[in-house]
A and B are shown apart, each in its own frame.
Chain A
Amino acid sequence: MADKAKGFFVTGDPLIYGADVAIVITLLGILVFLTFFKKWGWLWREWLTTVDHKKIGIMYLVSSLLMLFRGGVDALLMRMQLAFPNSHFLDSQHYNEIFTTHGTIMILFMAMPFMFALFNIVVPLQLGARDVAYPFLNALSFWLFFFGAMLFNLSFVVGGSPDAGWLSYPPLSELAGSPGPGQNFYIWGIQISGIGSLATGINFLVTILKMRAPGMKLMKMPLFSWSVLASCITIIFAFPVLTVTLALLFVDRFFGAHIFTATGGGNPMMYVNLIWMWGHPEVYIVVLPAFGIYSEVVSTFSKKKIFGYKSMVFSMMIISVLSYFTWVHHFFTMGAGADVNTFFAITTMAIGIPTGVKVFNWLFTMFRGRISMTQPMLWTLAFIPCFVVGGATGVMLAVAPADYQYHNSYFLIAHFHQVLIGGVVFGYLAGLYYWWPKMFGFKLNDRLGKWAFWTWNIGFYVCFMPQYALGFMGMTRRVYTYGWDMGWAPYNLVSTGGAFLMGIGFVFQVWQILYSIKNGERDLTGDPWNGRTLEWSIPSPAPLYNFAHIPKVRSDDAWWDMKEHKHGAASEKENKEFEPIHMPKNSGIPFFMAACWFVAGFGLTFEWVWVGIAGLAGVAICLLARSFQRKTDYYIPVDEIKRTEASLGRVV
């Protein structure tokens, strides 16, 4: 028994024991808190069963910030190990596990949910809609992501973490290269949350196409919604590829097939092709919405219409198509031949063109505007130089023969962190600061925000600029140790310093949020930034039904137009009668169904077949139960709408 437990729990590392203790204490703390303050019912009714897109958005946000913390701790552990040559802080195996989980968590469990948080919080409001197209599916997507992420995170205390890199190339990720449950955690954690991501892509695509307010033609739609549309199209084509790839890898590992091993006639190159057919579009999936955020922020805080709206839309759509013609640049060095390499080198460079155009359009939105240095704007301004340089190194990487020298080196590491942090994270943070008042009804403190901004930004350059140099010095990614002989030591030490500065920036942000909950400037107008799009036309936080009256849209920048010409919600003379509002009912099924997936994933991870089957049976039962539910919706009566509107300070 004790032996069995010893194989089950990860043992032997003081860092892991520390984590065990922290997890138990945190869980106990939560349980005691919920019981003592009698919050269980509240938690169940208001959150676990909710189908309200705004609450789902907030749950995504909280999860992604927690994952940012976990992924960030992974990053700091790695940087601590690399700070000095011949360091013995982590051993090879532990280091391999940490970089694998760092990459996986940051892309799939931090960036994706952060993005979905903003989709959920903003898109229906921006479209003048009362909900997303499929609210139940939306809740299910969240819980699938959540339980998938939990399954993946469990690996570092139970069973052992995956250690084959965040894309897990075979043959290393096959049973012979990675025995044990770690790699299975990777497969099932991603697989379960991936189903949720695909469903979210479908959900928001339909929401955008079908649920826009009357008058909002596609070419009058705000750019953030456009960026979500582009991103969703890409999700719909990319995620099934990931699902199939991981399923095939599972077949190899579980049933002893050899789809991705050359012995027996399989082919590891097939895996590398497939995973990047998802993987490269994936980075555009996460960066496109950031482009949308920058567009909204630049326009709002320059008090000016966005420059070249059509060009912006066109470039985003081109990016989502071109993103499928770039995957081979991840393995120029695989000997694909000069024809293939040349083709993909040029298609990869070409994606720089629409991206560059967007930068010029943002610049010329600011040109002859009036720029106010609010927090969202600061992050947007910091994004431009960071992304322009990161994009330039991206073009350099696309030059196939030059890539023979950059491939798998720290030059590459510096490049993709520069575009993913400078592009994606800065963008989502800009979005977070921008829409925070809409979510919670208060602004985040400015002074602490500036501290966070500067430590993040300075930390970023201190951390990643030396890594470009390290790449030219021949340092490859994923080495856990190095000697004094190569001259890498000072650069690594500086880089580690930068990483810790960024960590301090994150701490400032946590402090900023906690401080502002109490002391943040309250927003009573619903329109604290003098915004341009419909989400600013309703109170903050938005009522359950979002819009008491569905707005009529006459131009792009709909809310700005209403304010300018005093019509619609901006004119209080238009006193229309309220009508009962049709809303979906809360449901516990999404939570239970995802929990059953978790059980199934856990069973298959440890190859406990019966647990896996039991979990899948649970999923089937949940589906069946849902199909027999008849009363899934209700109407909010007029009286309640009147009361809510009056309490939010609206004329009734």
Chain B
Amino acid sequence: MKKHTSSYLWKVSALGITLLALLTGCDRRYLVFNPSGPVAQKEFDLIVLSAVLCAAVVIPVLILLFYIVYRYRDKPGNKAPYTPEWNDSKILEIVWWGIPVIIICILGVYTAKTTYSLVKPPVTDVKPITIQVTSLDWKWLFQYPDQKIATVNYAEIPAGVPVQFQLTSDSMMNSFWVPELGGQEYTMPGMAMRLWLQADKPGTYFGSGANFTGRGFAHMKFKVVAKPQAEFNQWAKQIKKSAPALTQERYDLLTKKGLAEKQSFSSYPESLFHNTIDRNGGKYMKPEMKHGGHDMSMMDHDK
């Protein structure tokens, strides 16, 4: 009997170790476990914290469940105590109303702290760069107001620099998600959302649309390429020199339903981003909805 139990225990722990190995994130496929910037790192830390706090309740409950079911099952000769009328214990109830309250308090504090920190640039000693993102059916347009260039279905960013993504949609509502750099934010017609992300080191990061937009939704993927600042500048200059211009006609083509290849443009129509917002209903919105947040001083790059 004892031997049987120990071999069972061994099997369970082997399974547990395998699971742990699967979940440690040493595998690069687990994008969320592979944070490559301060925003993703903060979110990852919070994920770990919440998982540990939850496990602190879940694991004892599971052990208790198996123990109780094993000990008090209705088998002839079961000598465990049987108290059919016992149905109340103030102390026990206080314990299990109390423990979750404490856990939620701890988790709540960290949640609040991180929530507030994510609406600010992740680092303050580097001047941030702004990229304006428009989700279209079914492609992504990136505009660089500082460099006055634009790309479709890929974005390059300088590594180590906070990136302020301003997000809107010129079709359905989508969600802009780059898991390794940090979370996602909706793109909505007539409004500008804002998402701070930053890549710590050069690399290529997977991004996708996360909110369903119709037939081509599954193909709305893009790469975010982080490069050292110098190389990024080089790239922008290159685009400026060699790529075609994004004219209004070309943009109108982009807005048609359909997929698109990666593209680069050396310029785009003046105020394209803000015009897109206004045209989709932004003209009826309060200014803070239009410009994604409160400190508008940082926003008006292309005015």
Mask for A471-513, Cβ within 8 A of B = 1, else 0? 1111011111110001100000000000000000000000000
CB distance from A477 to the nearest CB of B (A): 7
Which chain A residues lie closer than 8 Å to B89 at the CB level? 307-308, 364
- A7 located at the interface, meaning its Cβ lies under 8 Å from any Cβ of chain B in the complex: no
Mask for B201-244, Cβ within 8 A of A = 1, else 0? 00000101111111111100000000000000000000000000
- A648 located at the interface, meaning its Cβ lies under 8 Å from any Cβ of chain B in the complex: no
Residue from the list B46, B97, B193, B279 in contact with A335, Cβ < 8 A: B193
Which of A64-72, A118-126, A366-374, A435-443 forms contacts with chain B?
A366-374
Contact A302 B72 (CB under 8 A): yes
Q: Across the two chains, which residue of chain A brings its CB closest to B32?
A: A472
Residue from the list A360, A364, A401, A469 in contact with B183, Cβ < 8 A: A401
Determine the distance from Cα of A472 to Cα of B22 in the docked complex, in whole angstroms: 11
Given contacts A304-B87, A370-B82, contact A401 B111 (CB under 8 A): yes
Contact B57 A392 (CB under 8 A): yes
The residue among A164, A311, A333 with the most chain B CB atoms within 10 A of its own CB is A333
Tell me the residues in window 345-403 of chain A with beta carbons closer than 8 Å to chain B beta carbons.
345-346, 349-350, 352-353, 356-357, 359-360, 363-373, 381, 384-385, 388-389, 392-393, 395-396, 398-403
Which chain B residues lie closer than 8 Å to A371 at the CB level? 68-69, 72-74
Contact B188 A307 (CB under 8 A): no
- B83 located at the interface, meaning its Cβ lies under 8 Å from any Cβ of chain A in the complex: yes
CB distance from A274 to the nearest CB of B (A): 15
Contact B32 A359 (CB under 8 A): no
Contact A335 B186 (CB under 8 A): yes
The residue among A163, A335, A403, A408 with the most chain B CB atoms within 10 A of its own CB is A335
Determine the distance from Cα of A338 to Cα of B31 in the docked complex, in whole angstroms: 25
- A215 located at the interface, meaning its Cβ lies under 8 Å from any Cβ of chain B in the complex: no
Contact A337 B54 (CB under 8 A): no
- B7 located at the interface, meaning its Cβ lies under 8 Å from any Cβ of chain A in the complex: no
Contact B88 A307 (CB under 8 A): yes
Residue from the list B29, B61, B111, B213 in contact with A487, Cβ < 8 A: B29
Determine the distance from Cα of A481 to Cα of B53 in the docked complex, in whole angstroms: 35
Residue from the list B23, B42, B173, B214 in contact with A96, Cβ < 8 A: B214
Determine the distance from Cα of A445 to Cα of B259 in the docked complex, in whole angstroms: 54
Which chain A residues lie closer than 8 Å to B193 at the CB level? 334-335
Q: Across the two chains, which residue of chain B brings its CB closest to A479?
A: B218
Which of A16-24, A169-177, A236-244, A637-645 forms contacts with chain B?
A169-177
Determine the distance from Cα of A304 to Cα of B82 in the docked complex, in whole angstroms: 9
Determine the distance from Cα of A264 to Cα of B72 in the docked complex, in whole angstroms: 66
Which chain A residues lie closer than 8 Å to B189 at the CB level? 171, 261-263, 268
Which chain B residues lie closer than 8 Å to A334 at the CB level? 185-186, 188, 193
Contact B177 A476 (CB under 8 A): yes
Contact B108 A473 (CB under 8 A): no
Residue from the list B33, B64, B100, B116 in contact with A357, Cβ < 8 A: B100
CB distance from B34 to the nearest CB of A (A): 9
Tell me the residues in window 61-96 of chain B with beta carbons closer than 8 Å to chain A beta carbons.
61-62, 64-65, 68-69, 72-74, 78, 80-89, 92-93, 96
- A309 located at the interface, meaning its Cβ lies under 8 Å from any Cβ of chain B in the complex: yes
Contact A360 B96 (CB under 8 A): yes
The residue among A346, A393, A471, A476 with the most chain B CB atoms within 10 A of its own CB is A476
Residue from the list A346, A368, A381, A398 in contact with B82, Cβ < 8 A: A368
Determine the distance from Cα of A96 to Cα of B93 in the docked complex, in whole angstroms: 47
- A331 located at the interface, meaning its Cβ lies under 8 Å from any Cβ of chain B in the complex: yes
Residue from the list B116, B215, B292 in contact with A93, Cβ < 8 A: B215
Which chain B residues lie closer than 8 Å to A369 at the CB level? 72, 82, 84
Which chain A residues lie closer than 8 Å to B119 at the CB level? 337-338
Residue from the list A93, A177, A346, A478 in contact with B104, Cβ < 8 A: A346
Contact B284 A265 (CB under 8 A): yes
Tell me the residues in window 93-146 of chain B with beta carbons closer than 8 Å to chain A beta carbons.
93, 96-97, 100-101, 104, 107-108, 110-112, 114-116, 118-119
Q: Could you say which interface size class chain B belongs to?
A: 35 or more
Q: Across the two chains, which residue of chain A brings its CB closest to B66?
A: A385
- B51 located at the interface, meaning its Cβ lies under 8 Å from any Cβ of chain A in the complex: yes
Determine the distance from Cα of A642 to Cα of B42 in the docked complex, in whole angstroms: 74
Contact B104 A350 (CB under 8 A): yes
CB distance from B121 to the nearest CB of A (A): 14
- A404 located at the interface, meaning its Cβ lies under 8 Å from any Cβ of chain B in the complex: yes
Contact B188 A408 (CB under 8 A): no
Contact B54 A392 (CB under 8 A): yes
Residue from the list B107, B188, B215 in contact with A92, Cβ < 8 A: B215
- A303 located at the interface, meaning its Cβ lies under 8 Å from any Cβ of chain B in the complex: yes
Determine the distance from Cα of A5 to Cα of B68 in the docked complex, in whole angstroms: 63
Which chain B residues lie closer than 8 Å to A478 at the CB level? 212, 217-218
- B285 located at the interface, meaning its Cβ lies under 8 Å from any Cβ of chain A in the complex: yes
Mask for A248-272, Cβ within 8 A of B = 1, else 0? 0000000000000111111011000
CB distance from A344 to the nearest CB of B (A): 10
Residue from the list B32, B186, B206 in contact with A405, Cβ < 8 A: B32
Q: Across the two chains, which residue of chain A brings its CB closest to B40?
A: A405
Which chain B residues lie closer than 8 Å to A368 at the CB level? 72, 80-83, 86
Determine the distance from Cα of A477 to Cα of B184 in the docked complex, in whole angstroms: 14
Contact A404 B182 (CB under 8 A): yes
- Could you jot down 5 A-B contacts, CB within 8 Å? A364-B92, A367-B72, A401-B46, A402-B50, A471-B32
Name A residues whose Cβ lies closer than 8 Å to a Cβ of B: 92-93, 96, 163-165, 169-172, 177, 261-266, 268-269, 302-309, 311, 331, 333-335, 337-338, 341-342, 345-346, 349-350, 352-353, 356-357, 359-360, 363-373, 381, 384-385, 388-389, 392-393, 395-396, 398-405, 407-409, 469, 471-474, 476-482, 486-487
Beyond known contacts A368-B72, A472-B30, A487-B29: 6 more, CB 8 A cutoff: A307-B86, A333-B185, A337-B119, A404-B183, A408-B212, A474-B179
